[in-house]
Chains A and B, each alone.
Chain A
Amino acid sequence: MRRAQVQVQFTWIFSLFAGALILLFFITFILRQKDVSERGLSAEVSAKLDAVLTLAQSSLQTSNNVTIPGDLGFDCTGFVYGGARRPYGNALVFAPGLIQGKLLITYADGWDVPYRASNLLYLTSPRVRYIFLNNSETVHSLFEAMPDAATKQSVEWNITLMASIMPRNDDYVRIILGASSSTLPSYLPGLDALSPEEVGVLGVSRSVSETDAFTVTFYTRNPGAPVMYSPGEVFGVVGEEMALAAVYSSAELFNCTYSRALDHLEHITAVYYQRSRDLLASYRGPGTCAQLYGAAGSSLSAIRREAQRPPTLMSAEAIAANMTALADANQRLKLFSCPTVY
């Protein structure tokens, strides 16, 4: 009897122990598989997003709405989704630091200097608001260049109208106006309650020589009252497409992406320069085309040199001036039925 009692107890203890062991094994297995699965899913979604962005980059001047599964972060090295990071590769991407929500708006345009240097990819979300204060032709032109799918509005330079602008539960508000390198008051007092992380100001102005060079200034908010904006990072950029890129982008991302764009410009200009020299070397016709190839070569050499310099307004103006000279030489080569430089 005693033996039987002990056996029953032992059996119960043994069953409990074995059951707990089996349960522990399966719970551990399930949790591990869940973790592996989540990481795999993040990587797969990142890869698919990468493919979408690659496709968007080649669909020029076309706005696309892409459904995204969650928040996307953008920094100098790549985009991040769910802990999985994908580098940009050669893509020139301009976007806010964080895009939240389910919808991504993509838009691409070519950067011509005057030959196609690269395609630029602009990303935003309907939850980011762009307010263009119409105090210059440049700002108006940028407003028109931005696709209609973006949440944008153009406001006439009128104190009453500007005072009526109120927050609309946006993730971020970007104010764009014609300005450079001077401290600004708050032109939209209705937005003063927003934190510095929720609102930013970008000043854009075209070069006085009316070339394709612009100054873009990322303003930072001064803490305390009255609300004021001080000029932060200032860049001299070439092309309206680059000025538009600054509208989309955070200051940090614009800094590193524009530097990469200039690197790319340097290398592609070297290719065109060598091409112009090969065309000149093999040309056997009258002297006009030879002179034009020589002139084109000088412009290309100057563009390459300026692309290696820091992005100031002076170097942007120098690039823009040589762009005009190169375009002129190319057009004349076409008129003389000679192979063009680009």
Chain B
Amino acid sequence: MIEAVMVLVVFFFLLAVGLMVYNGLAGRGAVQRSQEALELRGLRIARLAMTFPELQCSVSNVIQENCVDQLKASAMSSLLSSDSRARQYYYDTFQEARIRVRQVYPTEEEFVIYEREPAEYRRSEATYLPVIVYDPLSSGGTCLTLHGACHFGTLIVEVYQ
């Protein structure tokens, strides 16, 4: 009798330990997946921003890949800072994120395209994509097949969780 009870006690003890370990591992797995989801979201938004007609370089609808039009970036920045309807529209796409284009050569300049930082967040993840920043106002030159100049820049996307 006593042995049967002891066997059950040991069994339930092992079961409890096993459940605690399982919960611990599952929790750790959930944290890893959450981090992965954040990284993937940043990547997705960066890729999306690169294919936006609002930012892409184009001439007569012929798109130049990995290129951001400086005038469009500036216009987008001022549209989103002045028009609340536009801000709400793009929130459905980008949600809590910060998207900026930083030109590093020949001069250093930055355009904040979109910004919606939450009041509190546990972590953030930044994605950097090198891009050509096309300046159509630069006189007498050609950038790829476009009239203007190519500068070197980075598209920076920060997402929050």
A–B contact via C-beta, under 8 angstroms: yes
Residues on A facing B (Cβ under 8 Å): 7, 10-11, 14-15, 18, 22, 25, 54, 58, 87, 89-90, 110, 112, 114-118, 263-264, 267-268, 270-275, 278-279, 282, 330-331, 334, 337-340, 342
A339 x B61 contact (CB < 8 A): no
The reply on B8 being an interface residue by CB < 8 A is yes
- Given known pairs A90-B93, A271-B76, A278-B75, the reply for A115 and B83 (CB within 8 Å) is no
Interface pair A270/B92, CB less than 8 Å apart: no
Interface of B is mostly: helix
Q: Are A263 and B78 in contact (CB under 8 A)?
A: no
Instruction: Kindly list 18 other residue pairs between chains A and B, CB separation below 8 angstroms, not including A58-B51, A115-B58.
Output: A7-B1, A112-B61, A115-B61, A116-B63, A117-B53, A118-B53, A267-B79, A267-B86, A268-B53, A270-B86, A271-B54, A272-B72, A273-B75, A274-B78, A275-B69, A278-B74, A338-B147, A339-B146
Chain A residues, Cβ within 8 Å of B92: 87, 89-90
Residues of chain A contacted by B58 (CB below 8 angstroms): 115-116, 342
Specify which chain A residues have a CB less than 8 angstroms from the CB of B8 in the assembled complex.
18
Query: A267 CA to B80 CA in the complex, in Å?
Result: 9
**B79 touches which one: A7, A115, A270 (CB < 8 A)?**
A270
B4 at interface (Cβ–Cβ under 8 A)?
yes
A331 to B148, CA, bound (A): 17
Quick check: A110 and B75 within 8 Å, CB to CB? no
> Out of B61, B90, B146, which one reaches A114, CB within 8 Å?
B61
Residues 61-81 of B, flagged 1 when their CB comes within 8 A of A and 0 if not, give 101000001011011101100
Pair A267/B61 contact, Cβ less than 8 Å: no
Bound together, the chains give a CA A270 to CA B69 distance in angstroms of 15
Query: How far, in angstroms, from A342 to B75 measured CA to CA in the complex?
Result: 13
Could you list 15 examples of A-B contacts with CB < 8 Å? A15-B4, A18-B8, A22-B11, A25-B15, A54-B44, A54-B48, A89-B48, A114-B61, A115-B61, A278-B71, A282-B137, A331-B60, A338-B147, A339-B148, A340-B147
Contacts of A118 in B (CB 8 A): 53
Closest 10 CB pairs of A and B: A274-B75, A90-B93, A339-B136, A116-B53, A271-B75, A275-B71, A282-B137, A267-B86, A89-B93, A339-B147
Q: Smallest CB–CB gap between B160 and chain A, Å?
A: 17
* Complex-state Cα separation, A115 to B92, whole angstroms: 23
Asked if residues A342 and B61 are in contact (CB atoms below 8 Å), the reply is: yes
**Does B59 belong to the interface (CB within 8 Å)?**
yes
In whole angstroms, what is the CA distance A174 to B54 when docked?
Answer: 35
Does B89 touch A at the CB level, under 8 Å? Answer: yes
Of all chain A residues, the one with the shortest Cβ separation from B135 is A339
| Minimum C-beta distance from B134 to chain A (A) | 10
Give the shortest distance, in Å, between B100 (CB) and chain A (any CB): 16
- How distant is the Cα of A45 from the Cα of B62 in the complex, in angstroms? 35
